[in-house]
Structure 1
Amino acid sequence: MTTQLDCSLGLGKESDYGVPATPDQFPEFISESLAWNPEIVQGEGLRVGSRAPRTARRALAKEMSGGDIELEATTKGLGVFLHAIFGASTTEQIGSGPGHQQVHTYTKGELPSYTIQKGVPLIGGGAIQPHTFHGAVVESAEFSAAQGEIVKLTTTWNAREIVTDTPYVPTVYPADMELFTFVHGSINIGGSVTAPTGTALATGGTPAGNITEFTLSLSNGIDEGGFTFGSAGKRGRRPEVGLIEATGSMVAEYDNNMLRDAFLNQEALQIVLTFEAGAEISAGVRPALQIFLSSVKLDGQVPASNGGEPVTQSIDFTSLDGLLAGVEPVYAVYRSTDTAY
């Protein structure tokens, strides 16, 4: 017997674009909107005696799939999503203990593709029905963290096709997962930052004690082509990556002029957002999620009165490539006991 709570997601990395893989990672998720998104055409030819569009003239012209997956940031199992977003990833053991550090940066080549299977149970306790998506690539993603909230990650996927005849793969969840929340967070803005290495987090910068919300949106700029003759209306090749777009926003209480002046002077800032949670994995090593933006310019705003309430600033920003030798524009660092992503 099942209930409507028994929805599931499973991901498996494909050996090549669109080649089915067996799901082997199963995230706990908040919501998903994975769907079939066809382009249907209707013939417009005139026929004597007919005033309505005809059934026989309705046809499938193009086939696409995809949608969003929203989940909470956990201390295990998050690496598969970070690798899917960025594409260039490393994993190294930290010392001789069980802790491993993943460092994810933007690929200069191709994005990985995945087979994603979602299971949806029939009403009334029926069997879980599998809906399997091949050739799923991350189109965009958003990290969000706010006071009193759990850190969340939403990924938007572009998939080649959906099939319903693949057998359902039962879920196997990681043990002892904890959550990253606002309580575990700290943020440094400005100052001098040392980029992360294979086993060390980014360090340095100036601690900012006035930030209450932070959002980062990332886009891979994938192309819309690849629908060629012989591919049966589906994308015939892996999506090509385009120019990266990395933008975000912060809400800050107005207790100093650092952000105001950085905006007015269009000063380039470095931002390090770090969450460390739970018990130590080994001596001095705790589960961690870190975002490092190596060159950020602010898009606003100048402080304004707030009707007698404490003044806050809603500050948009754009993450750019500072062209510093050996330093990437965006890093996502993940520490856990996971030995792979």
Structure 2
Amino acid sequence: MTTQLDSSIGLKKETTYGTGVTPDHFPEFLSESLEAKLDIKQGQGFRVGSRVGRVERRVLGKQWAEGDIEIEMAARGCGIFLEALLGASVSTALTAPAYQQNFTLATSDPLNSYTIQKGIPLLGGGAAQAHTFWGAVCTKGELSSSQGDVVKLKTSWNAKQVDTATAYAAPSYVASNEVFFFSEGAITIGGTPTAPTATALASGGTSVGDVVDFSLSIDSKLDTNGFTYGGGGRQSRRPVVGGMADIKGKMTVEFDSTTMRDAYLNQTSLAVVLTFTSATSIATGIFNTLQVYIPAIRTNGDLPNATNGVVKQSIDFDVLDNGSGASPVTVCLRTLDTAV
């Protein structure tokens, strides 16, 4: 027997685009909006004695699937989402049993495709009904940390098709999988931080204590219009890079210094390192950690304005290539997961 709360999401990387595999990663998710998209055309030709479109002239032009998945960033099981969003990953053993996973922006096509399955129980305690999405590619995502809240990741997906005949894969979950919190966070803005390596986190930079919230969005600008003759109305060509990736962020900063104001007015490049460190030790001297390293941002405003209370600045910024050859964004996870 089930309740309506017994919904699940499972996913696994595909070997061949659009060829389904059995999901083996099951996140504890917050929401999802995965759905089939049908581009239906209705013939409009005139016919004596008829005032409405005819059944035999209704056709299915194109079909695909798309939607979002939002999760809480946890110590384990989230690497698959970061790899799907950024495109490249490396897992390196630290002191046993800990690993460091580094995720960087891919510089070659194509991005990975995944089989995603959602299970939705029938009302009244019925069995979960499987809706399986083949050829799912992550097109964009946003990592966010709000004051006093859990760190969250929302990803958007484009899939080749949805299938309802594939058997339901019962979920299995990682035990003691804690989430990352705002209270575990620390941020540096400016200075000259040392970039992360395969076995070391980013370090250094100028510590600040005036940031209230932070978000980072990545839009890979994929071309998802791969509908060609012979594809039966489905995407026969997988999504590929269709333009420059758009990486942006936003943070709210209390006005206790002129650093952000002057960086905006002078268009100064700033390095940003945001690190969430859990109190849970997973090996000697190693803790569950989530870190975002950005070598160069340029801010888009704003100047502080007078208000009846604490003056805050809403800082939008662009993530740019600093010409060093380094990824414009690197996300690091220190985890018990041996691989993504």
Output the amino acid matched with 1:135.
Answer: G
Q: Distance in 2 between matches of 1:278 and 1:37?
A: 44
Report the counterpart of residue 23 of structure 2 in structure 1.
23
Residue matched to 2:36: 36
Is 1:256 aligned to 2:261, yes or no?
no
Separation of aligned partners in 1, 2:37 and 2:278: 39
Q: Does residue 273 of the first structure (1) align with residue 266 of the second (2)? A: no
Contact 2:224 2:238 in 1 (8 A): no
Deviations 1:139-167 (A, max 9, x none): 00001101111000000000000000000
- 1:283 alignment counterpart: 284
Q: Hey, what's the Cα distance between the residues in 2 that align with 1:164 and 1:126?
A: 16
Give structure 2 stretches of 5+ with no counterpart. none
* Deviation for aligned residue 1:48: 0.5
Residue 184 (structure 1) aligned with residue 194 (structure 2): no
Contact 1:144-1:152 at 8 Å conserved across structures: yes
Could you tell me whether the CA contact under 8 Å between 1:101 and 1:199 is conserved in 2? yes
Q: Which letter does structure 2 place at the counterpart of 1:331?
A: T
* Residues 262 and 268, structure 1, Cα contact 8 Å, conserved in 2: yes
**Alignment correspondent of 1:334:** 333
Q: Judge conservation of contact 2:158–2:224 (CA < 8 Å) in 1.
A: no
Aligned residue type for 1:136: A
- Which whole-Å CA distance do the structure 1 matches of 2:233 and 2:200 have between them? 46
Name the SS for the 1:277 alignment partner.
strand
What is the TM-score normalised by the length of structure 1?
0.98
Secondary structure of the residue aligned to 1:183 is helix
User: What RMSD in Å do the two structures reach over aligned CA positions?
Assistant: 0.8
**Separation in structure 1 between the aligned mates of residue 162 and residue 10 of structure 2, nearest angstrom:** 14
- Give deviations 1:60-89, integer Å, cap 9, x for gaps: 100110100011010110101011111111
Question: Which residue is 1:230 aligned to?
Answer: 230
Aligned to 1:315: 315
Aligned residue for 2:3? 3
The residue aligned with 1:142 is 142
Q: Cα distance, 1:122 vs. partner? A: 0.2
Alignment deviations for residues 249-292 of structure 1 (CA, whole Å, 9 cap, x no partner): 10000000000000000001100011111411111110111111
Distance 1:84 1:215 in 2: 18
Q: CA deviation at 1:210?
A: 0.1
1: CA distance between counterparts of 2:205 and 2:279? 24
Q: Percent identity?
A: 48
Please tell me the residue identity of whatever aligns with 2:111: L
Code of the aligned partner of 2:215:
T
Distance in structure 1 (CA, Å) of the matches to 2:196 and 2:127: 46
> For structure 1, which runs of at least 5 residues remain unmatched after alignment?
none
Aligned to 1:47: 47
Which shows bigger deviation, 215-224 or 131-140? 215-224
Q: Which residue of structure 2 lines up, in the alignment, with residue 104 of structure 1?
A: 103
Contact 2:289 2:334 in 1 (8 A): yes
Contact 2:202 2:273 in 1 (8 A): yes
Query: Distance between the aligned counterparts of 2:114 and 2:52, measured in 1?
Result: 42
Distance 2:249 2:261 in 1: 16
Using the TM superposition, give the Cα deviation of residue 248 of structure 1 relative to its aligned residue in structure 2, in angstroms: 1.0
> Whose strand fraction is larger, Structure 1's or Structure 2's?
2
Native 8 Å contact 1:178 1:278 kept in 2: no
SS at match of 2:218: strand
Q: Is the 8 A contact 2:13 2:113 kept in 1?
A: yes
Contact 2:93 2:100 in 1 (8 A): yes
Residue 302 of structure 1 deviates from its aligned partner by: 0.4
SS at 2:22's partner residue? coil
TM-score (norm 2): 0.98
| Residue identity opposite 1:28 in structure 2 | E
Contact 1:17 1:237 in 2 (8 A): no
CA distance in 2, matches of 1:81, 1:104: 10
CA contact (8 A) 1:221 1:245 kept: yes
Partner residue, 2:245: 244
User: In the alignment, which residue of structure 1 is the partner of 2:296?
Assistant: 295
For the 8 Å contact 1:35–1:67, the answer to whether it is kept is yes
Which amino acid in 1 is paired with 2:39? E
| CA contact 1:89–1:103 (8 Å) conserved in 2 | yes
Could you report, residue by residue, the CA deviation over 1:27-47 in whole angstroms, capped at 9, with x for unpaired residues?
000000000011111111111
Q: How many residues align?
A: 338
Contact 1:290 1:333 in 2 (8 A): yes
Q: Runs of at least 4 residues of structure 1 off by over 6 A? A: none
